[in-house]
Amino acid sequence: MSTPLASAPSIGLGNPVAVAKVNQLKAQPRKQGEASFFFYDAHFKNAAVKILPGEYFVDQEDLLVMTTLGSCIAACLWDRVAKVGGMNHFMLPEGNGDSGRYGSFAMELLINEMMKRGASKARMEAKIFGGGAVISGMNSLNVGERNTNFVIDFLKLERIPIVSKDVMDVYPRKVCFLPASGKAMVKRLAPTNTDALVQQDKAAIQKVQPVASSGGSIDLF
């Protein structure tokens, strides 16, 4: 629980099976919106993929799916029978166009891609993370709260149970999901040294504005 959730983007020397998996993943063609930043994680000694805002990833194998969140939401879905899991990362509940940056599109895309891999929506369960108010003085716009409420309402409408969650509050989060087992780990980050997340959240806030603690331990979910 207290082990740092660290990662290293370079392959270097490591688990040869995992290194070979990274190279295999890099060589495969990817769909639009599918995450494609693969690397060898030296801490977990396993292949990993990083999900950027607007992206998703679905798999059935033993690898790590990671992302870092401010006011954004990551939904992790899993079918325990088919052993298929996936994660997305969206910035706002809704918007114009078909973009994974918007929850309304990102959630449908994730569900559909999992079903293509043999998952059943009737068996899916969800773990949700993010929605933090990481920008001081911007709480009145409630981007994180809106994102959180959206994903909870969406999953309720689709009858996909939420089995665990770590949402809202003021913390950025680093999330690691294992699609083969459905397990997830989350670490609340210190609200310092998060310039990239703050810029990401400010970009999201610009889209919704009307016209005219210290880092914690890892929790398992």
Span 150-200, pLDDT tens digits: 999 999 999 999 999 999 998 899 999 999 999 999 999 987 655 665 566
List, in order, residues 6 or more apart from 216 with CB less than 8 Å away: 171, 187, 188
The yes-or-no verdict on residue 123 having pLDDT over 80 is yes
Q: Is 176 one of the annotated active-site residues of the chain?
A: no
* From 72, 77, 126, 128, active-site residue: 72
Domain ranges of the chain: 16-220
Taking the chain, what is the end-to-end CA distance rounded to the nearest angstrom?
Answer: 11
Q: What is the pLDDT of residues 59-112, one digit of tens each?
A: 999 999 999 999 999 999 999 999 999 999 999 998 877 789 999 999 999 999
Q: What is the pLDDT of residues 137-152, one digit of tens each?
A: 555 568 999 999 999 9
Contact 76, 127 (CB under 8 A): yes
Cα separation, 54 vs 71, in Å, equals 13
pTM: 0.82
**Which class in CATH covers the domain with range 16-220?**
alpha beta
Cα separation, 79 vs 84, in Å, equals 5
* pLDDT computed for residue 165 by the predictor: 97
